[in-house]
Amino acid sequence: MVNYNSSSKWQTRRKLLTPAFHFKILQQFIIVFNNETRNLVEVLKKECHKSHLNVVPYISQFTLCTIKETSMGNSLNLKNEEDKTYFTTIHQIGKVLMYRLKRPWLYPKYPYFIFPAGMMEKKILHAFTNTVIREKSENFETLEETENEEFNYEKRKKLAMLDLLLNAKLNGLIDDKGIQDEVNTFIFEGHDTSAMSICFTLMLLASHKDVQELIVQEINHVLPDPNTPPSYNDLQELKYMERCIKESLRLYPSVPFISRTLEEDIVVSTGHTLPKSSMANVNILDIHRNPKIWPDPERFDPDRFLLENCVNRHPFAYVPFSAGPRNCIGQRFAVLEIKAVLCGILRNFILEPVDTPENITLVIGIILRSEKGYIRVKFTPRS
């Protein structure tokens, strides 16, 4: 049995999972991103004759397929009834978590897991991940390390997060419950955050045709052959696209607030003292729209992230992936995934606006969403 307090647990698991985001492993994940992008584009081609599409379910399926394959090492098959049920349930779990968060009497496991929402989480999500973990454990081989105690990335074709966790279990660093917690958390957070970021970005690009066409020009410059999928290095060259993604995340940070326990007394600008051990909630959405930092904050302007415009900006004025030692471990993964899918979509479609920033009302929960639950865009095939 593994015993540790919450701080040491986080540190241990962060160290375990860091190799899964090594750039050599991320290079291999580009294949998954491109394959799932191709599948998404084929679906959109069949649907683009409609007056508009709600992009949320299409993009959510894309990100869930990529995150499952890269974290668990196997793909999601929606023709399989078990996989289909898991897909449906994972989309409801955000509402379940918010429901539980607002009701302290549901924090203990006993009352929570006898409620329908808790039973759904336990019987479907936990059962599904347990099955995947068990099946992968049966054929798992211990990962070899080099003399420098680093994994030999050259010999690993694709190092899924689950591989690292199973290896840590063999070394006594984590138990089955810990593996289940990490896989569930990573799949939920990893697919939903990226999905909403992509959806908001598509809406912004549809609403700003000039920006959309500049990205297309950049894609055509970096990838002149329209049939060639982007490589890791190609995606690194898409600098203007990256600025657009950053500006989209400024306006619509997928995680709109974070909480931190203070390790010391903090005196804020008003002169008040926040005592040690109290919880501080950081409203990222407000930080990103502060007019003292971001002139005309509601305006979509990718040039805010030109190097010369970032020089004198406070390093914590832009924190879509949090900051410090507890920042998002998957931020490079997410940006590469968003770049890959934008390449596929913009090479094949012109985006036309239906929903725009002016008519979207935001709802702040665990993930930032549109109040109505949909984001509509028209897809016109690109000749």
User: Taking the CB of residue 310, how many other CB atoms lie within 10 A of it?
Assistant: 13
From CA 361, how far away is CA 191, in angstroms rounded? 22
pLDDT digits (tens, 9 = 90+) for 237-283: 999 999 999 999 999 999 998 888 888 999 988 899 999 999 888 99
Same domain? For 222 and 316 the reply is yes
Residue 6 has pLDDT above 70, yes or no: no
* Mean pLDDT confidence for 59-73: 85
Q: What is the percent of the chain where pLDDT is above 70?
A: 89
End-to-end CA distance of the chain: 60
Same domain? For 277 and 356 the reply is no
Same domain? For 271 and 326 the reply is no
In a domain, 216, yes or no: yes
User: What local confidence, expressed as pLDDT, does residue 147 receive?
Assistant: 42
In a domain, 302, yes or no: yes
Same domain? For 375 and 248 the reply is yes
Residue 124 DSSP code: I
Same domain? For 76 and 110 the reply is yes
pLDDT digits (tens, 9 = 90+) for 302-317: 999 999 999 989 999 9
| pTM of the entire predicted model | 0.88
Same domain? For 231 and 158 the reply is yes
Please state, rounded to an integer, the average pLDDT across all residues of the chain: 85
Residue 23: pLDDT band (50, 70, 90) is: confident
What is the domain extent for residue 273?
257-281
Same domain? For 127 and 71 the reply is yes
User: What local confidence, expressed as pLDDT, does residue 158 receive?
Assistant: 56
In a domain, 159, yes or no: yes
State how many domains the chain has.
Answer: 2
Residue 301 has pLDDT above 80, yes or no: yes
Beta bridge partners of 116: none
In a domain, 4, yes or no: no
From CA 188, how far away is CA 345, in angstroms rounded? 24
Specify the range with the lowest mean pLDDT, choosing from 175-184, 215-224, 309-318, 356-365. Answer: 175-184
User: What local confidence, expressed as pLDDT, does residue 320 receive?
Assistant: 94
User: What local confidence, expressed as pLDDT, does residue 230 receive?
Assistant: 96
Same domain? For 273 and 130 the reply is no
What 3-state class would DSSP assign to 283?
strand
In a domain, 74, yes or no: yes
User: What local confidence, expressed as pLDDT, does residue 3 receive?
Assistant: 44
* Mean pLDDT confidence for 139-164: 59
Identify the CATH number of the domain in which residue 304 sits: 1.10.630.10
Residue 19: pLDDT band (50, 70, 90) is: confident
pLDDT digits (tens, 9 = 90+) for 319-352: 999 988 888 888 999 999 999 999 999 999 999 9
Same domain? For 347 and 324 the reply is yes
Residue located via tokens 């307090």: 5
Same domain? For 277 and 186 the reply is no
Residue 149: pLDDT band (50, 70, 90) is: very low
Residue 143: pLDDT band (50, 70, 90) is: low
CA distances from 272 to 161, 257, 269 (A): 43, 21, 7
In a domain, 269, yes or no: yes
Q: Where are the alpha helices (DSSP H) in the chain?
A: 6-17, 23-47, 55-72, 81-90, 93-101, 109-114, 116-120, 127-138, 161-170, 176-207, 209-222, 232-237, 239-251, 284-288, 307-310, 331-348
User: What local confidence, expressed as pLDDT, does residue 2 receive?
Assistant: 43
User: What local confidence, expressed as pLDDT, does residue 203 receive?
Assistant: 97
Residue 129 has pLDDT above 70, yes or no: yes
Same domain? For 188 and 337 the reply is yes
In a domain, 5, yes or no: no
User: What local confidence, expressed as pLDDT, does residue 148 receive?
Assistant: 45
DSSP string, 12-71: HHHHHHGGGG-HHHHHHHHHHHHHHHHHHHHHHHHHTTSS-EEHHHHHHHHHHHHHHHHH
Of residues 149 and 233, which shows the higher confidence score?
Answer: 233
DSSP string, 168-211: HHHTTS--HHHHHHHHHHHHHHHHHHHHHHHHHHHHHHHH-HHH
328 annotated among ligand-binding-site residues: yes
In a domain, 220, yes or no: yes
Of residues 368 and 148, which shows the higher confidence score?
Answer: 368
Same domain? For 210 and 138 the reply is yes
